[in-house]
């Protein structure tokens, strides 16, 4: 199973609402972006029009690897941008900045590639499970980019009071996986750490300009330098660690109340995730209504089982709730929040399997569904094809025979494939009814 081999394989359309005000100071746009994160798109808008980052608001973060549409708002003046990978369409004006409250849902259209006959045969049962049991509302790999790039959880450096280590992770740890100009910027500061009078010659260095200006005047005040980073970015570092704690706590809770024998494991960036494959009716109803907390010092528990699961994860980290704080820095703090344990994809539909033009001898399927804000479409897809991501299985892909003559795979599948068998069963039932 392969996702996002092409940008158009993963399309997201945000459903939104805002109170229109013809005299409002915020100009609202529909932003169509491709192969850009929301932060990268906003940075480009700010650089192009010399707008402070605080003057651009948006509802939520959309995936970089795909084509997405979402609303953004610019304070103070209209802008116009029409580029191949980033376009803005005016929608009106409003009196207040946009936030997550302005998003009602997200509609996803996803192409899943590199599928075999076995995958297609197992898919109907997996769809039935998702419709009946939902999907555990974990945070997926996109939330943990700092792990992918070798930075770890930056907020843990901050919680230890090691602000210099945190700043090094932010500014001077280039990732081998990062092919953007930002990696060159970070490589420069890695080589010249502490030489704040130097000019970083690489494109994108202006992103760290407020931090560098501060360090030139206060060379040892790394706490103050951290506070010159973008506030939404700092909040995201806290949220990333909270998200991992949430994932681990929910996994522990499911092991306790569902039992490991009825759970399936799926690999992701930060380890494995557990999903129910079967539940009795009572437990299904209980999990439908259950929330699990994003942990903070102010978190309180009404359910002892939830408390045991959450605190066991903190115990593994050698922490208690009160340790979720950055010393002497109230500007960076943990806020409690409840998150539903399950999410149910709406209007889940499957397209007909087609030959995969990118993977010889394999198949592709289109899947479409809606999700509430904050839920991950990639997890829905992974749950549907969970057997391809089990940590104990590595399914070798058979190599095609040498110089294999061209085949009309679509015609063959119409005759003998899984969908042909489905059609045959329907025809047999119709004949039986006529008889």
- Mean pLDDT, residues 393-408 taken together: 43
Q: Which of 229, 258, 284 is the last residue of a domain?
A: 229
Residue 397 placed within a domain: no
Tally Cβ neighbours within 10 Å of residue 30. Answer: 16
The domain of 192 spans 156-229
How do residues 90-120 score in pLDDT, each as one tens digit? Answer: 999 999 999 888 888 889 999 999 999 999 9
Q: Are residues 260 and 224 in the same domain?
A: no
Torsion (CA) 330, 331, 334, 337 in degrees, nearest 10: 120
pLDDT top residue among 395 and 204: 204
State the average pLDDT over residues 264-274.
Answer: 93
pTM: 0.79
Closest CA to 296 of 327, 323, 264, 332: 323
- Residue where a domain terminates, one of 203, 229, 255: 229
Q: How many CA atoms lie within 13 A of 20 on its CB side?
A: 6
The CATH number covering residue 80 comes to 3.30.70.3160
Domains contained in the chain, number: 3
Q: Please tell me the predicted confidence (pLDDT) of residue 145.
A: 79
Closest C-alpha to 2, from 292, 326, 385, 260: 385
Least-confidence region, from 116-120, 284-288, 393-397: 393-397
Same domain? For 244 and 323 the reply is yes
Say whether both 72 and 165 belong to one domain: no
Residue range 31-61, pLDDT digits in tens: 999 888 888 899 899 989 999 988 999 987 7
Which whole number is the average pLDDT over 119-124?
A: 96
283: pLDDT confidence band, cut at 50, 70 and 90? Answer: very high
The answer to which of 185-199, 323-337, 409-423 has the lowest mean pLDDT is 409-423
């Amino acid at each position: 199973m392969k996702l996002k081999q092409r940008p158009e394989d993963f399309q997201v359309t945000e459903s939104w609402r805002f109170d229109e005000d013809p005299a409002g100071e915020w100009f609202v746009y529909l932003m169509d972006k491709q192969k850009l994160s929301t932060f990268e798109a906003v940075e480009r808008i700010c650089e192009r029009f010399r707008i402070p980052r605080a003057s651009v608001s948006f509802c939520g973060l959309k995936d970089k690897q795909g084509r997405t549409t979402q609303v953004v708002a610019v304070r103070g003046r209209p802008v116009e941008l029409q580029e191949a990978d980033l376009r803005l369409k005016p929608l009106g004006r409003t009196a207040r900045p946009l936030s997550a409250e302005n998003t009602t849902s997200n509609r996803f259209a996803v192409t899943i590639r590199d599928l075999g006959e076995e995958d297609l045969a197992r898919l109907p049962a997996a769809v039935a499970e998702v419709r009946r049991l939902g999907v555990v509302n974990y945070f997926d790999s996109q939330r943990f980019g700092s792990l992918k790039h070798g930075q770890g959880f930056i907020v843990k450096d901050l919680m230890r009071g090691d602000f210099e280590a945190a700043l090094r992770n932010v500014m001077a740890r280039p990732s081998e996986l990062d092919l953007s100009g930002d990696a060159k910027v970070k490589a420069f500061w890695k080589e010249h750490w502490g030489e704040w009078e130097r000019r970083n010659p690489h494109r994108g260095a202006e992103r760290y300009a407020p931090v560098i200006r501060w360090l030139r005047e206060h060379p040892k005040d790394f706490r103050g330098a951290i506070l010159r980073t973008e506030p939404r970015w700092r909040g995201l570092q806290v949220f990333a660690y909270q998200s991992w704690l949430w994932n681990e706590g929910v996994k522990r809770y499911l092991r306790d109340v569902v039992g490991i024998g009825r759970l399936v494991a799926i690999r992701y960036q930060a380890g494995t995730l557990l999903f129910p494959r079967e539940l009795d009716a009572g437990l299904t109803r209980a999990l439908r209504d259950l929330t699990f907390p994003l942990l903070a010092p102010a978190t309180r528990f009404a359910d002892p089982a939830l408390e045991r699961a959450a605190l066991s994860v903190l115990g593994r980290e050698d922490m208690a709730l009160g340790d979720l704080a950055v010393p002497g820095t109230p500007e960076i703090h943990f806020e409690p929040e409840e998150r539903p344990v399950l999410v149910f994809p709406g209007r889940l539909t499957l397209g007909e399997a087609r030959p995969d033009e990118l993977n010889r001898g394999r198949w592709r399927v289109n899947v479409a569904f809606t999700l509430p804000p904050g839920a991950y479409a990639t997890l829905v897809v992974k749950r549907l094809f969970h057997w391809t991501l089990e940590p104990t299985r590595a399914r070798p892909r058979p190599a095609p025979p040498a110089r294999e003559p061209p085949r009309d795979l679509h015609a063959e599948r119409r005759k003998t494939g899984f969908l042909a068998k489905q059609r045959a069963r329907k025809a047999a039932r119709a004949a039986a009814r006529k008889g």
